[in-house]
Amino acid sequence: MAIDYQERIPNNVDLSEDRRLQRALEAWQPNYLQWWQEMGPTEFQAHNVYLRTAVSVDSKGWANFGHVKMPDYRWGIFLAEPEQDRKVNFGEHKGEAAWQDVPGEYRGMLRRLIVTQGDTEPASVEQQRQLGLTAPSLYDLRNLFQVNVEEGRHLWAMVYLLHGYFGRDGREEADAMLQRHSGDVDKPRILGAFNEKTPDWLSFYMFTYFTDRDGKYQLASLAESGFDPLSRTCRFMLTEEAHHMFVGETGVGRVIQRACELTNEHGEDAVRKMGGIDLPTVQKYLNFHFSVSLDLFGSERSTNAANFFSMGLKGRFEETKIDDDHKLGNDIYPILELDGEKFVTREDNALTVINERLRDEYAIDCGRGVRRWNQIIKRHGINFELKLPHRAFNRQIGSFNQANTGGLQVSPDGEVITEAAWTENHGNWLPTEADRAFVIGLMQPITEPGKYAAWIAPPARGINNQPIDFEYVRLN
């Protein structure tokens, strides 16, 4: 379905046929635009950026490119096309017709799911708002802004659901998403990872690779929902989320490429001296962002996750491809636990540990990109291998949280250690203040088309078949 860009709020949900909802969203729109101006990208609102905009939700129309000022970007409400005769595919309602309206008995739980997902979207924009000032190239600056405007549109998608299906409670929740701010002491964002700072571009690439990948798995699980409007909303969001992970994987890969070049030219110990980010520092950032993102999946055993599944509200990743009864009454699933000072694998009720299954699939997916990064290192003949840290490393949520391990900690290699050993060694595993200061010190803006900062390699190709020296952001 084509999207009408003459509408004040572009959409493919026939918004003009629901005057009450249209008025409500039009009343919310000025507050959103004010939030964007105050909390969105700093100092670049007046510049034309080569952005991708959806003009329809089919494969040919969702990626239309052109230069546009970000405040003029046509944020809107785009849902994937409906599936005829769609059914609830899991839980107690398996086989029933998918719901077009909110089931009254699940109203609170469903609203909670939508608010938690929706809150992450503006949070990441806030975390990244200063990054444009130190972009390593116009290509990267454009990619940052593409991520930002799409996160803003994802907020619109969740706000549409809140306004359209949850009445006054939904409107209040939509307002609150513009009142909370990343890192705010009094009104922080709901999930901890979205209150962390993103002070440099290596952190941004790691965030878009690891944390946005969590978003992929959460959205894919919500796309299985028996509540059809939520499913359709998330299915379209996933098409845009893929680009965010591309920015992360290729960004880290280009940092690694440059580190390898400098290593071969000047020696391993000279990478920092020559203005590059050395591979051990990349590993530290990897350790931090992977462990923080693992926490986003919640506790290993979760009554809430089990209830969401049983109610048909949130499924598993690629639910319909899993070979079981999709009810999980008697199924089991293995989970890793700490027994004293050693790890053991125990089987538990698959419904209770549904978070852990999603975390397992996420970790496997993360490993694929790490292997591709290692191929870059291998091609340069350098004896170094990046690794995902052990899943119990640096965890703040779940059974591996220090409060639940009797004060024990876990090294990246999976060795159970004392708090004293952690205190002595964690600076070798996680970015120190000196590491962060060094990386931040490299962050100097490069604004000439086709030029790239010394710490990152140029991309292999441009966006939408454009050359890498294309004027992706018009600064003049």
CA distances from 190 to 172, 194, 286 (A): 16, 8, 23
Distance between CA atoms of residues 360 and 356, nearest Å: 6
Mean pLDDT of 298-322: 96
CA distances from 40 to 14, 43, 338 (A): 29, 9, 42
What's residue 406's pLDDT? 78
- In-domain check, residue 8: no
| 144: containing domain | 15-474
Six-digit token string for 445 = 């803006």
Q: What percentage of the chain reaches a pLDDT higher than 70?
A: 98
- Asked if pLDDT for residue 6 goes beyond 70, the answer is no
Distance between CA atoms of residues 408 and 291, nearest Å: 16
- Asked if pLDDT for residue 2 goes beyond 70, the answer is no
63 — pLDDT class (breaks 50, 70, 90): confident
- In-domain check, residue 109: yes
- In-domain check, residue 7: no
- In-domain check, residue 368: yes
- Asked if pLDDT for residue 106 goes beyond 90, the answer is yes
Distance between CA atoms of residues 243 and 212, nearest Å: 10
- In-domain check, residue 400: yes
- Asked if pLDDT for residue 350 goes beyond 90, the answer is yes
SS3 state at 416: strand
Task: Give per-residue pLDDT as tens, 199-233.
Answer: 999 999 999 999 999 999 999 999 999 999 999 99
Asked if residue 128 lies in contact with residue 198, where contact means CB atoms within 8 angstroms, the answer is yes
- Asked if pLDDT for residue 311 goes beyond 80, the answer is yes
5 — pLDDT class (breaks 50, 70, 90): low
- In-domain check, residue 416: yes
Six-digit token string for 405 = 């391990």
Neighbours of 169 (CB within 10 A): 13
Region label for 299, one of left (φ > 0), alpha (ψ between -120 and 50) or beta (otherwise): beta
Virtual torsion, Cα 146, 149, 153, 155, nearest 10 deg: 120
Region label for 164, one of left (φ > 0), alpha (ψ between -120 and 50) or beta (otherwise): alpha
Q: Do β-strands 342-349 and 332-339 pair in parallel, antiparallel, or remain unpaired?
A: antiparallel
Mean pLDDT of 365-377: 98
pTM, to two decimals: 0.96
Distance between CA atoms of residues 168 and 166, nearest Å: 7
Six-digit token string for 183 = 């890192």
Distance between CA atoms of residues 66 and 61, nearest Å: 13
Mean pLDDT of 36-45: 96
- In-domain check, residue 78: yes
- Asked if pLDDT for residue 443 goes beyond 90, the answer is yes
Six-digit token string for 127 = 């975390």
Among the ranges given (61-75, 156-170, 279-293, 326-340), the one the predictor scored with the smallest mean pLDDT: 61-75
Mean pLDDT of 349-359: 97
Task: Give per-residue pLDDT as tens, 132-177.
Answer: 999 999 999 999 999 999 999 999 999 999 999 999 999 999 999 9
Mean pLDDT across the chain, nearest whole number? 95
The total domain count for the chain is 1
Return the CATH number at 433.
1.10.620.20
- In-domain check, residue 6: no
Burial of 347 (0-12, 13-18, 19+ CB in 10 A): exposed
Which one has a higher pLDDT value, 6 or 291?
A: 291
4 — pLDDT class (breaks 50, 70, 90): confident
What's residue 15's pLDDT? 92
Asked if residue 239 lies in contact with residue 84, where contact means CB atoms within 8 angstroms, the answer is no
Task: Give per-residue pLDDT as tens, 113-142.
Answer: 999 999 999 999 999 999 999 999 999 999
